[in-house]
A and B are shown apart, each in its own frame.
Chain A
Amino acid sequence: MLAPAVQEAMPYIVLVNFGIVCAVIVIALSRIGGMVMHEVPTGAQNVAEYFLDWFVKQSRRIDATVVGLVAPFIATLFAVILLSNLLLIVPLPLLNIPPTAYFGVTFALALTAVLGNIVLNGIHRGILPALTHLVWPNPIQLISEVGHAASLSLRLFGNIGGEYLVALLVLRSAPYGIPLIIHGLGLIPAFIQPLVFTLLTVSFLGTAMTHQAKHEGAARRSRRFSLGGRRRAAALGKQLVTGGESQ
């Protein structure tokens, strides 16, 4: 469908486009970060705060203490995927090949998400508990991590690659006017897919962190009871029943 020369140079084109996306993000963030912030936000600050609020809200669903760790990570993933997808509607040849329509890029993004989850879990709870989570209580969790990478990458590639293929087919049969409709419809997956990618990453990370906390909590409770802490537990129960009046 593409010219043979373009097909041969595809990996390099994708690499250059991905570099352009990253450069745009860095420049935009440096511009927004360098702005004078107002108490009542307007314009770009308003948009930036809206997005930031969404990321913070999603991170807070895991735990309020991990917002500083998780929010920047998912925000970066979201921005990279969204801008990569939006390259599809840029009306310039070669630049309109979205990097996320190439399986290597989506797999790299999914690996970043999965490995990033392990690293963030390691920073939050310590390296040993984070690695223990991969094989405890069930060693099959290691395979599930591979499954997460595969599902995240295949989903993104299937959606954006399919959209790109449809755009190419329509462009070939009807070069004028009609592709605008396809590009308009293409905006929906372009916005939904980074949303889904980010939500699933947060969901996997939340599962890892909270499951572990649950196990640790259970272990601590059982240790407390087995070490003769029953009296303390009974006192606590009494305190709860009387509403702390004895103190």
Chain B
Amino acid sequence: MKETLLIFVPTLTLVPVAVVAALAMRRISLSAIEGMARQPEVKGELFTAMLIGMALIEALVIYCLVIGLTIAGKF
């Protein structure tokens, strides 16, 4: 029974974090695209900053995935 329930741990850990991260990434990309449209001359710098921000948010999601998999004993 316990083993069966443990299968759901990665899912339950990941889903809320993924939803919040998706919202945060939406905000980042929206702002970056707006900025690029307003000032195309700083497009490169905005793209770099956007990627770094997204990478940092994405790292949190991957931490949760790893924690979930560790709890489930699959990692």
Question: Would you give the shortest CB distance from A24 to chain B, in whole angstroms?
Answer: 26
Partner of B62, one of A158, A192, A199, A203: A158
**Does chain B have a CB within 8 A of A166?**
no
- In the bound complex, how far is the Cα of B40 from the Cα of A210, in angstroms? 28
In the complex formed, the residue of A with least CB distance to B58 is A155
Given the complex, which residues of A lie within 8 Å of B66, measured CB to CB? 154, 158
**Does chain A have a CB within 8 A of B65?**
yes
Question: Would you give the shortest CB distance from B21 to chain A, in whole angstroms?
Answer: 12
Per-position binary interface string of chain B over residues 36-63, scored 1 when its CB falls under 8 Å from any chain A CB and 0 otherwise: 0000000000001001101100110111
**Does chain B have a CB within 8 A of A187?**
no
Instruction: Find out whether the CB atom of B62 lies under 8 angstroms from the CB atom of A196.
Output: no
Instruction: Find out whether the CB atom of A200 lies under 8 angstroms from the CB atom of B55.
Output: yes
Instruction: Find out whether the CB atom of B51 lies under 8 angstroms from the CB atom of A192.
Output: yes
Given the complex, which residues of B lie within 8 Å of A196, measured CB to CB? 51-52, 54-55
Instruction: Find out whether the CB atom of B51 lies under 8 angstroms from the CB atom of A155.
Output: no
Interface centre among A157, A159, A196 (most CB of B within 10 A): A196
Instruction: Find out whether the CB atom of A199 lies under 8 angstroms from the CB atom of B63.
Output: no
The secondary structure that dominates the B interface is helix
Given the complex, which residues of A lie within 8 Å of B48, measured CB to CB? 199
Question: Would you give the shortest CB distance from B23 to chain A, in whole angstroms?
Answer: 20
Instruction: Find out whether the CB atom of B59 lies under 8 angstroms from the CB atom of A199.
Output: no
Instruction: Find out whether the CB atom of B59 lies under 8 angstroms from the CB atom of A151.
Output: yes
Given the complex, which residues of B lie within 8 Å of A200, measured CB to CB? 52, 55
**Does chain B have a CB within 8 A of A195?**
yes
Partner of B65, one of A158, A192, A203: A158
Contact of A199 with B58 at beta-carbon distance under 8 Å, contacts A154-B63, A158-B65, A158-B66 already known: no
Question: Would you give the shortest CB distance from A164 to chain B, in whole angstroms?
Answer: 15
Question: Would you give the shortest CB distance from B18 to chain A, in whole angstroms?
Answer: 12
Per-position binary interface string of chain B over residues 8-37, scored 1 when its CB falls under 8 Å from any chain A CB and 0 otherwise: 000000000000000000000000000000
Instruction: Find out whether the CB atom of A199 lies under 8 angstroms from the CB atom of B65.
Output: no
- In the bound complex, how far is the Cα of B56 from the Cα of A203, in angstroms? 12
Given the complex, which residues of B lie within 8 Å of A195, measured CB to CB? 51
- In the bound complex, how far is the Cα of B55 from the Cα of A133, in angstroms? 25
**Sampled A-B contacts (15; CB under 8 Å):** A154-B63, A154-B66, A155-B58, A155-B62, A157-B62, A158-B58, A158-B65, A159-B62, A196-B52, A196-B54, A196-B55, A199-B48, A199-B52, A199-B55, A200-B55
Given A154-B59, A154-B63, A155-B59, 19 more A-B residue pairs with CB atoms under 8 Å apart are: A154-B62, A155-B55, A158-B58, A158-B61, A158-B62, A158-B65, A158-B66, A159-B58, A159-B62, A192-B51, A195-B51, A196-B52, A196-B54, A196-B55, A199-B48, A199-B51, A199-B52, A199-B55, A200-B52
Residues of A within 8 A of B (CB): 151, 154-155, 157-159, 192, 195-196, 199-200, 203
